[in-house]
Amino acid sequence: MKYGHFDDENKEYVIDRVDLPTSWTNYLGVEDMAAVVNHTAGGYCFYKSPEYHRISRFHGNSIPMDRPGFYVYLRDNESSDYWSTSWQPVGKDLNKAKYTARHGLSYSVYECDYNGIHSEEKLSIPRGENVLLWDVKVKNTGKTDRNLSIFSYLEFSFHHVMIDNINFQMSLYCAGGSYKDGIIEEDLFYEEDGYQYFTANFEPDGYDCVRDRFIGTYNTETNPAAVERGECFNSEEKGMSHCGSLMKKFRLKPSEEVRFIFMLGEGDRKAAYPIKKKYSDFANVDAAYEDLRLYWKKKTDAMLINTPNEGMNSLINTWTLYQSEINVMFSRFASFIEVGGRVGLGYRDTAQDSMTVVHSNPDKCKERIVQLLKGLTTKGYGLHLFQPEWFEEAGKPSDFDSPTVVPKADKSIIHSLDDACSDDCLWLIPSIVVYIKETGDLSFADEMITYADTFVEGKNFKESVYDHLKRILDFSAEQVGSNGICKGLRADWNDCLNLGGGESTLVTFLHYAALESFIELATKLGRTEDVEKYGKIAEKVKKVANDVCWDGDWFIRGVTKSGRKIGCKEDEEGKVHLESNAWAILSGAADEEKAAKTLDAIDKYLYTPYGLLLNTPSYTKPDPEIGFVTRVYPGLKENGAVFSHPNPWAQAAACKIGRGDIAMKFYNALCPYYQNDIIEIRESEPYSYCQFIAGKDHKAFGRARHPFMTGSGGWSYFTATYHILGIKPDFDSLTVDPCIPADWKEFSVSRVFRGATYEINVKNPSGKMKGVSEIYIDGAKADKIPVFEAGTTHKVTVVM
Ligand code: GLC
């Protein structure tokens, strides 16, 4: 069953049936102000941080689902009938009202046709401004004159998510809502400078600042008291919970259309005046849309693919890039699942995300990489979750003691080895090497950067990026157990596998991958001593990988503290694990024969039509030696679900050993595009990868959950473009080395690399999966693809 379709030309996903089984979300804002919204205009808005600076309230994990939001009500003043521009919150009978929702790149549009009125509400946040615009158009499509009213509604939040959820005896009496000059101001009086505003491009006929007046104590957003009676209450109050409702009465003749702009902004009434003026001019609203369109066009144009796989084309050219960019912006801290209690940067997630969109967002990727380097301790492990502001030079201290201030950096935030995850920093090394290869910025290796622990001790200790990387590698080399495998510590990539002093093969493979990346960089920089030193370590790690970690047909997952192997043939539960086996191959650590057998084992034991299981069979018996994973229900999340994030690792692993057929089989299984028509099973949005899909040991097998905020976004993008299509930037050239199914006859990629455009056409006349035999540049035979002058365009033909 399907609920919508991809509109590739407009880069939108169109939801034609809005009674979806679950919320389908989108992200607005690409700078400081941002919002997460769903297909019925539900969602919330924040400034920089959804934990410390929320603007609008959200009732997470609630019924009715995903309220409140940015709602617009229309009322027919003749009949007293009313409806909303998005299907919810009023929820008109879908046999009588036609609703659609369209999610685009940083905007969403809700359309409604009801009883001779067409309406449309578009939400977006212009670049360079901290305001959420609600652009509403109402048209009379009937034959008679209409007497209508429009009401807006949003619920303001206290800034701090905790203060907004507990202990109201303080907050409720230190915040006030007031109305003047067409502007509602929410004053969070308990803060030094806590204000929000809500205004519109018209002179209102009524307003409400007090939530409980507008809604009514025994009503909901479905039937607000003010809309029911057709008049706002003109409520204002110092104290209580507040809303933003502005009301206007208007008449429409047949075919007549009117446009209203509502503005929800960061700042006080003074900040609202110029914004009200600016966006009361429709030309400025339209210019903001065009600016956002060009912002995204530049990114999507940086790599456009045309392959025989239509799902891959659609996702890579728009949606997976979008998802990857969103992850670099929001790490994992803003969604309907992560509703603000876990902000900051997760070390491993951010390190991986930063590798995936360097070609379209080099500055943001570098910013994230630098933040992570600053979050590294001199011991060589990183802070698992931290606020990047902690390690920036402090601003002027404020003497105002607000309960919502962001915690400052102090020694307590530097956690010990007990809380360190063994994999966190290893991801950063390949990301930095990818960054340097993409940008050509070799000097970055010598940039001087602080460390987290010495920074909070007040020491001005800096080392080069290159030296940071050595500390990471040395840490993993030291943290090995009695079998010579890296220790598991608090967790490795799998948060729920808590091997502690036990050992993790995954980390050993990641260590090997990081060593290989580092050696490439050291070689390029001519640091031969390091090439030799780390080369020897790599050899040793490879030997351990093949001698100790091998189980006959696949690699074990680890060894518990008491010396028990896990992920091996003898295991009845958790016999085969995906992430360690994928990295055994992808890192290059596994010998050729072992790598081939391992890929077969992944295919045989872990493949399902919805993607690869993380492990199988699921654990059913709690086992503290293995960790929390044994207390997650079978088939969910880390315990036997299709956990999406490692899926593209297995696709890349297949490419590593030339198996383009398997890579594509795995890619297609997880690809949400191909689940567009089975929403009764998938439930979640088909334009976004989800964190997991229930596995075969659960009755909801195939049901996807947690969209957008997952490493599978970035990794799917990276694997498809880098490993499958084979577009690999190098220090001094661009390599094209695809690994595709043998029946692909050709494909093309338009790729911007260091400012030049490469129009790449790959031909596969003899039906190969891997291996390039000839390269032509602008018609002439060549043996490599050089870095061309920025601004030029070149035709590259690659024959496999
Ligand atoms: C979540 C976390 C990620 C972790 C994964 C597996 O996606 O964000 O850091 O690696 O779960 O546990």
Catalytic annotation present for 495: yes
493 CB within 6 A, ligand 1: yes
Q: How far apart are CA 715 and CA 349, in angstroms?
A: 11
- pLDDT tens track for 146-195: 999 999 999 999 999 988 888 888 889 999 999 999 999 999 998 888 99
Out of 493, 642, 710, give the residue to mutate to test ligand 1, the one with the largest number of ligand atoms within 8 Å of its CB: 493
Angle (CA) 617-714-26 rounded to 5° is: 100
Contact criterion met (CB below 8 Å) for 796 and 777 = yes
Q: By C-alpha distance, which of 222, 193, 241 is closest to 64?
A: 222
- pLDDT tens track for 285-306: 999 999 999 999 999 999 999 9
pLDDT above 90 for 399: no
SS3 for 199? strand
495 CB within 6 A, ligand 1: yes
pLDDT above 70 for 401: no
691 CB within 6 A, ligand 1: yes
The ligand 1 atom at the shortest distance from the C-alpha of residue 332 is 8
Beta-strand pair 257-266/131-140: antiparallel
Q: Band of the pLDDT at 341, cuts 50, 70, 90?
A: confident
- The pLDDT value recorded for residue 190 is 85
- pTM of the full structure: 0.97
- The pLDDT value recorded for residue 311 is 98
SS3 for 351? helix
Q: How far apart are CA 614 and CA 22, in angstroms?
A: 24
Mean pLDDT of 714-736: 98
User: What is the distance in A from the centroid of ligand 1 to the CA of 786?
Assistant: 38
- pLDDT tens track for 621-674: 999 999 999 999 999 999 999 999 999 999 999 999 999 999 999 999 999 999
- The pLDDT value recorded for residue 163 is 87
Other Cβ atoms closer than 10 A to 563: 11
708 CB within 6 A, ligand 1: no
User: What is the distance in A from the centroid of ligand 1 to the CA of 389?
Assistant: 23
The ligand 1 atom at the shortest distance from the C-alpha of residue 496 is 12
Out of 330, 349, 578, give the residue to mutate to test ligand 1, the one with the largest number of ligand atoms within 8 Å of its CB: 349
Ligand 1, atom 6: closest residue by C-alpha: 494
Q: How far apart are CA 387 and CA 389, in angstroms?
A: 5
User: What is the distance in A from the centroid of ligand 1 to the CA of 728?
Assistant: 27
Ligand 1, atom 3: closest residue by C-alpha: 349
348 CB within 6 A, ligand 1: yes
User: What is the distance in A from the centroid of ligand 1 to the CA of 64?
Assistant: 28
Q: By C-alpha distance, which of 368, 374, 376, 373 is closest to 331?
A: 368
Q: How far apart are CA 120 and CA 101, in angstroms?
A: 9
**Which tokens sit at 426?**
């290893």
Q: How far apart are CA 437 and CA 479, in angstroms?
A: 30
pLDDT above 60 for 396: no
pLDDT above 90 for 405: no
- The pLDDT value recorded for residue 509 is 98
Contact criterion met (CB below 8 Å) for 711 and 353 = yes
638 CB within 6 A, ligand 1: yes
Ligand 1, atom 10: closest residue by C-alpha: 493
- pLDDT tens track for 61-75: 999 999 999 999 999
Contact criterion met (CB below 8 Å) for 713 and 775 = no
191 CB within 6 A, ligand 1: no
The ligand 1 atom at the shortest distance from the C-alpha of residue 495 is 12
**Which tokens sit at 549?**
């970690």
- Of 235-239, 381-385, 399-403, the range with the lowest mean pLDDT is 399-403
Q: How far apart are CA 316 and CA 697, in angstroms?
A: 31
200, HSE (Cβ side, Cα atoms, 13 Å): 25
Q: How far apart are CA 290 and CA 288, in angstroms?
A: 5
User: What is the distance in A from the centroid of ligand 1 to the CA of 495?
Assistant: 6
530 CB within 6 A, ligand 1: no
User: What is the distance in A from the centroid of ligand 1 to the CA of 33?
Assistant: 26
Ligand 1, atom 8: closest residue by C-alpha: 349
- The pLDDT value recorded for residue 402 is 65
639 CB within 6 A, ligand 1: no
Out of 495, 580, 644, give the residue to mutate to test ligand 1, the one with the largest number of ligand atoms within 8 Å of its CB: 495
**Burial class (CB within 10 angstroms; exposed 0-12, middle 13-18, buried 19+) of 561:** middle
- The pLDDT value recorded for residue 792 is 98
Q: How far apart are CA 117 and CA 257, in angstroms?
A: 10
628 CB within 6 A, ligand 1: no
**Which tokens sit at 255?**
């075919």
738 CB within 6 A, ligand 1: no
pLDDT above 70 for 464: yes
pLDDT above 80 for 756: yes
Q: Band of the pLDDT at 433, cuts 50, 70, 90?
A: very high
332 CB within 6 A, ligand 1: yes
- The pLDDT value recorded for residue 299 is 98
How far does Cα 158 stand from its chain's mean position?
A: 25
**Segment holding 298, helix H or strand E:** helix 282-301
347 CB within 6 A, ligand 1: no
| The 704-707 sheet, strands edge to edge | 642-643, 690-693, 704-707
User: What is the distance in A from the centroid of ligand 1 to the CA of 741?
Assistant: 30
490, HSE (Cβ side, Cα atoms, 13 Å): 14
User: What is the distance in A from the centroid of ligand 1 to the CA of 691?
Assistant: 8
The ligand 1 atom at the shortest distance from the C-alpha of residue 711 is 7
Q: How far apart are CA 571 and CA 620, in angstroms?
A: 12
- pLDDT tens track for 88-102: 999 999 999 999 999
How far does Cα 2 stand from its chain's mean position?
A: 24
pLDDT above 80 for 409: no
**What percentage of the chain carries pLDDT values higher than 70?**
98
Contact criterion met (CB below 8 Å) for 141 and 228 = no
Q: What is the mean pLDDT of the chain?
A: 96
Q: Band of the pLDDT at 400, cuts 50, 70, 90?
A: low
- pLDDT tens track for 204-243: 999 999 999 999 999 999 999 999 999 999 999 999 999 9
Distance set, CA 738 to CA 89, 293, 306, 598, 727 (Å): 49, 31, 14, 21, 7
Q: How far apart are CA 438 and CA 369, in angstroms?
A: 14
- The pLDDT value recorded for residue 395 is 59
Contact criterion met (CB below 8 Å) for 451 and 376 = yes
Determine which one of 113, 205, 419, 495 is catalytic: 495
User: What is the distance in A from the centroid of ligand 1 to the CA of 766?
Assistant: 41
Alpha helices for 151-258 (secondary structure H):
168-171, 211-215, 225-229
Q: How far apart are CA 399 and CA 688, in angstroms?
A: 45
Q: Band of the pLDDT at 115, cuts 50, 70, 90?
A: very high
Mean pLDDT of 493-513: 96
Q: How far apart are CA 482 and CA 234, in angstroms?
A: 73
For residue 538, the cross-strand partners are none
346 CB within 6 A, ligand 1: yes
**Burial class (CB within 10 angstroms; exposed 0-12, middle 13-18, buried 19+) of 622:** exposed
Ligand 1, atom 9: closest residue by C-alpha: 349
User: What is the distance in A from the centroid of ligand 1 to the CA of 614?
Assistant: 12
Contact criterion met (CB below 8 Å) for 731 and 765 = no
